[in-house]
Amino acid sequence: MKRITYLICILLTSALVAAMVGWSFAAGALLVPVIAVPLGVIVILACRQQVTTVISDERTSRIRSKAAIKTIEVLLILGVIGTAVFASYAYSAPLAPSVNGKIAINNDGTRSMTLTLTRGGLPGMPEEVVRSLTIQDIDSMNETEARAYGLFWEEGLRQYEESGIIARTLLCCLGASLVTFGIFYLYYTRKY
């Protein structure tokens, strides 16, 4: 078997195993991954033993090492930039949206409430009104008004919250990458 055939075998086996695992989770057949994953590994190892040509030598190993290091470097730089952008957007108070509520007494004695979601702008610029909602009688809110009230909070602050989630996720990924790098660095420092 040639190297390219071996690579095709890996690709097909991985795709098949991934599909089976995905299907098993969807169908609730949790025994399938327990059998499929080791079986896939066995098939790949069996294919590897059939390869007659050289699979990888010192040049390919060195190319892979260099490519991996460059990839990590680029991803770290992009991660730091992304985290900074999203974190500054999510955590900077002037840019954060704010909700203001105003309760008024109606002519018939009931109370109405007006909620306004505003987004802060640059210093000196007026705040931008994102959306506004008025509930005519807050003591007897109907279903439509209750849904609109829920949506107001949910959708109004979603973009802001999503930026925070992305920033935290990127920060966790960066932290995990650095810790992994540190572990491998210590391992190879001790090994060589």
Partner 1 sequence: MKNRIRVLRAEREMTQEELAELVGVTRNTIMSLEKGKYYPSLKLAYRIADVFGVGIDNVFTYEREKDGPGMGEDE
Q: Can you give the binding site for partner 1, defined by CB under 8 A? A: 53-54, 56-60, 62-63, 66
d(CA 45, CA 39): 10
Q: Tell me the two tokens of residue 16.
A: 């098949």
Q: How far is the CB of 189 from partner 1 (least distance, A)?
A: 16
Q: How far is the CB of 54 from partner 1 (least distance, A)?
A: 5
Q: Which is nearer to partner 1, 59 or 190 (CB)?
A: 59
Q: Which is nearer to partner 1, 61 or 159 (CB)?
A: 61
The torsion angles phi and psi of 30, rounded to 5 degrees, stand at -80, -5
Q: How far is the CB of 38 from partner 1 (least distance, A)?
A: 30
Q: Which is nearer to partner 1, 58 or 139 (CB)?
A: 58
d(CA 44, CA 57): 19
The residues, any chain, with a CB within 8 Å of residue 82's CB and separated by 6 or more, are: 166, 170
Q: How far is the CB of 53 from partner 1 (least distance, A)?
A: 8
Residue 101 has a CB neighbour count (10 Å cut-off) of 11
Q: Which is nearer to partner 1, 34 or 69 (CB)?
A: 69
